[in-house]
Amino acid sequence: MKVLYLAVVMFIGCYSCSVWAADKPDFERDILVTFNNDAARSSSAGLGAPYQHRKQYSLARKARRDAAAVATEYSLEEINHWPIDSLSIYCFVYRLPETADRQSVIAKLNADDRVESAQPLQSFDTSVSPRELYDDTHASLQYGLDVLEIAPAHSITRGAGVTVVIIDSQVDKNHEDLRGRVGNVREFSYKGMSKDERHGTAIASVIAARSNNALGMVGIAPEATLEVYASCWSSGDSRSAICDSFSLSKALDAVLDDPPDVLNLSLIGPYDPLLERLIQKAHDAGVIMVAASAAPQKNFPSSMQQVIAVGAMPIDDSIDRLPERTLQAPGNRILVATPADQYDFRSGSSLAAAHASGVVALLLAVAPDLSSESIETILRRSQVENAESIESINACDALNLAGIAQQCGR
């Protein structure tokens, strides 16, 4: 028994040495490879209070098999590994043979169905600047914060005192980054329809996720009051929800009972005369409406002049054909909250509209008398005048263009 125990200890010790106490990183030969880890089970590991809710995440059997097979087939040396539970993946550091071409191997791995992603292991210099205002764990993954210059904008306002209503699917208001951020929730979708929290939670998190809570992500207007008018339900698709004229008209009618400052409409459909009338009434009541804009053929309600239309800015050299008068904001590969304290990346004009709604809330917090037309003009000028991100609206420039006493500086 002692011999067996010693052998086990030696095996664990050697494994620890080879995996966790490996050689220093080789930025010429090391790569990061991730595998889907959705099947990993979590448990409390028998811990008592106050630690019983802390989960230990395992390496799922399929991910383990795939990782071992990939390492063998591509002659990779395993250096380190770690679960990234918020993205449901397991990440491995592998070292290539000295004679291997790293870019070629990465390309082959990215084409391998077993691999979720592959990239070089890259080095980063540490630095501190005035923009480093957040301790949120995933803030570094939110490129929209830089594009919109949210950090300097937050030195002036975080949206306090402004109410934003989203007409969308249900929202997981108990999500760690939305807890206490969602006020009134009203249901307008059909009884018996499958509830869907995914799209609504994503939109809510972009607009108003808590900031500096050492968790997750940063909302564009993290101190605005957020309300949810749930009018959409599961479409069967993994990422979208569906609404109709009836459910939306009920929600818009309720909006008119107590008009908010901002109304986010991250949805697109055909022209609808009933909804047009309700949107016109909301505009007359002083509600600033922001809607997603995409293909010209099916672009209601953003096609209305009373609505600020926002589409996704391109992230490469491609040119997306957006309808005339459409503003642009980050909408591709956006980090969002998903139900049950998870996070993921999503793309679409819905998320561009959410970014813009957050910026509108920042503007109204310091200049509450701005009209919808004035805000659209300011946002358009911020997009044109910002040399750093000319393809997107810019919160810092918008605040300066609003003529507030305190200037938003870089």
- Looking up tokens 């959705």 gives 38
Q: What is the pLDDT along the chain (410 residues), one digit of tens a residue?
A: 444 333 333 323 333 333 333 456 687 888 878 899 887 654 333 333 333 333 344 677 888 899 999 999 999 999 888 776 657 878 788 999 999 999 999 999 999 999 988 877 754 332 223 334 566 577 777 888 999 999 999 999 999 999 999 999 999 999 999 999 999 999 988 776 667 898 999 999 999 999 877 778 999 999 999 999 998 887 665 556 788 888 888 889 899 989 999 999 999 888 888 888 889 999 999 999 999 998 776 788 999 999 999 999 886 655 567 888 899 999 988 999 999 999 998 888 999 999 999 999 999 999 999 999 999 999 999 987 555 545 899 999 999 999 876 788 76
Q: pLDDT at position 129, please?
A: 31
**Exposed / middle / buried, residue 349 (Cβ in 10 Å: 0-12, 13-18, 19+):** buried
Domain ranges of the chain: 20-120, 139-401
Which residue, 236, 229, 234, is CA-closest to 260? 229
* Helical ranges in 367-394 per DSSP H: 372-385
Question: How far is 365 from 362, CA to CA, in rounded Å?
Answer: 5
Which pair of tokens denotes residue 156? 């002036």
Q: pLDDT at position 135, please?
A: 63
Question: How far is 367 from 399, CA to CA, in rounded Å?
Answer: 9
CATH numeric code, 139-401: 3.40.50.200
Predicted TM-score (pTM) of the model is 0.67
Query: Which helix (H) or strand (E) element contains residue 31?
Result: strand 30-36
Give the Å distances, CA to CA, from 216 to 132, 165, 300. Answer: 15, 22, 33
Give the number of other CB atoms < 10 A from CB of residue 154. 25
Q: State whether residue 389 is helix, strand or coil.
A: coil
Q: Which fold has domain 20-120?
A: Alpha-Beta Plaits (3.30.70)
Q: pLDDT at position 124, please?
A: 39
Which residue, 85, 93, 21, is CA-closest to 59? 85
CB 67 within 8 A of CB 126: no
Which pair of tokens denotes residue 110? 């990215």
Which pair of tokens denotes residue 39? 């099947």
